[in-house]
Amino acid sequence: MAPMGIRLSPLGMAVFCLLGLGVLYHLYSGFLAGRFAFFMLSEPAAGGPETPHGSAPGGAVDLRELLAVSVLAAVRGGEEVKRVREGNVLNAKAKGKTREGAEEQLTTGDLLSNRRMFYLLKGAFPAIQINSEERVDTADQETVSWDHSIPEDIKQKIQPKEVPAESVTVWIDPLDATQEYTEDLRQYVTTMVCVAVNGKPVIGVIHKPFSSYTAWAMVDGGSNVKARSSYNEKTPRIIVSRSHAGKVEQVARQTFGNKTVIIPAGGAGYKVLALLDVPEKNQEEADVYIHVTYIKKWDICAGNAVLRALGGHMTTLTGEEISYTGSDGNEGGLIASINMNHKALIEKLPDLEKTSHK
């Protein structure tokens, strides 16, 4: 009997029990729904996108994989450069003037190579910063995939090495020596990719589209190119830009003597390869590379990385290291050498630094 003489009817008991069950069902179903949502957000959906290849958990990238993609990007860009030149559909136009007042050329080869190289690298490593000489038009986006393969020579010489993605900056030059390209001086033309970690160049790729030669190197890793073994430090062969030969020649010959050889050439990539042991019949040989004016970092980063990997040096004309972060230009000119006393070279050519500011 209920307290105080109150008697509960069977119908009332049934209603009370049903209300209690309803409350419990509402609470428990909400808990299950929350757990299900958490599970769906925590686990990748079946068939959905996975972590990009080359980007390990924690936002890291494998430099060996990035080297492989960089080589492929330089080659793919070079294919566009060669195709446009051989088809004679350059559509060359002026895109502006250099600080020295010379017109800078832009061709279809620059644009198509840039698109191919940029989207291949960005597709494989979406988290890294990429700086390119040419502007990337998002309306003209191209899907260029990497099949995740690593060439055997890279596998044999380079060990996997992960670095934080935020420390990486990639510099690409889709067509180095555009002026010479328009003049059909094909031997000077290269496509280049450089990887800098915390501002220091660690991977360099220089590809010559018209001979299919590719040089690559990774600092503290390995390379497929070597330095030349013979140099003449007393009367070096100095390679310079075609437009700078007169500026450098007078100072160099006053310093090293009248027998000093000045080699005018196009393209920063070509000039760095001149310091190396390159099996190319159209590749000139030099002991020192000098540039006496402002130059963009995508022109020199790949060559800087290759030289560093082989024990060489590329600095400003006053001997300062070049950082590959921040602005895209290097104000202090440059001097590059390998297997030579780099500091002594700088001390012998003090007047070149003054020339770089004229």
pLDDT attached to residue 314: 98
Prediction pTM value: 0.82
142 known member of a binding site: no
Per-residue confidence band for 343, with pLDDT thresholds at 50, 70 and 90: very high
Active site includes 184?
no
- Average confidence (pLDDT) over 126-142: 83
> Of 62, 107, 108, 110, which is the active-site residue?
110
Say if 117 falls within a structural domain: yes
Is 133 one of the annotated binding-site residues?
yes
Residues 180 and 306 in one domain: no
Q: What range defines the domain where residue 151 resides?
A: 60-224
Q: Are residues 173 and 262 in the same domain?
A: no
173 appears as a binding residue in the annotation: yes
pLDDT exceeds cutoff 80 at 140 = no
Backbone angles phi, psi at 227, to 5 degrees: -80, 150
| Residues 151 and 300 both lie in one domain | no
Range in 77-91, 125-139, 176-190, 269-283 the model is least confident about: 125-139
To the nearest whole percent, how much of the chain has pLDDT over 70? 79
In a domain, 300, yes or no: yes
- Tens-place pLDDT, residues 200-237: 999 999 999 999 999 999 999 999 999 988 787 778 89
Residue 201 and residue 102 share a domain? yes
185 and 273 assigned to the same domain: no
Is residue 38 domain-resident? no
In a domain, 118, yes or no: yes
147 annotated to bind ligand: no
Domain final residue, candidates 158, 192, 224:
224
Domain count, the chain: 2
Distance CA 65, CA 54 (A): 6
CATH number at residue 84: 3.30.540.10
Q: Which residues contact 31 (CB under 8 A, 6 or more apart)?
A: none
Which residues on adjacent β-strands are paired with residue 289?
239, 336
Which residue out of 178, 191, 293, 355 is catalytically annotated? Answer: 178
**Does residue 285 share a domain with residue 177?**
no
278, 185: one domain:
no
The answer on 96 and 146 residing in a single domain is yes
Q: Is 328 a known ligand-binding residue? A: no
Instruction: Calculate ∠ Cα 56-58-63, nearest 5°.
Output: 40
The secondary structure of 111-170 as a DSSP string is HHHHHHHHHHHHHH-TTSEEEESSPP-GGG-----------HHHHHH----EEEGGGEEE
Helix (H, G, I), strand (E, B) or coil at 64: helix
> Is residue 138 annotated as part of the catalytic site, yes or no?
no
* pLDDT band at 141; cut points 50, 70, 90: confident
In this prediction, residue 104 has a pLDDT band, given cuts at 50, 70 and 90, of: confident
Q: In this structure, what CATH number is given to the domain that contains residue 297?
A: 3.40.190.80
Is the pLDDT at 72 greater than 50, yes or no?
yes
Give the pLDDT of residue 257.
Answer: 85
Domain boundary among 171, 193, 224: 224
| CA 89 from centre of chain | 27
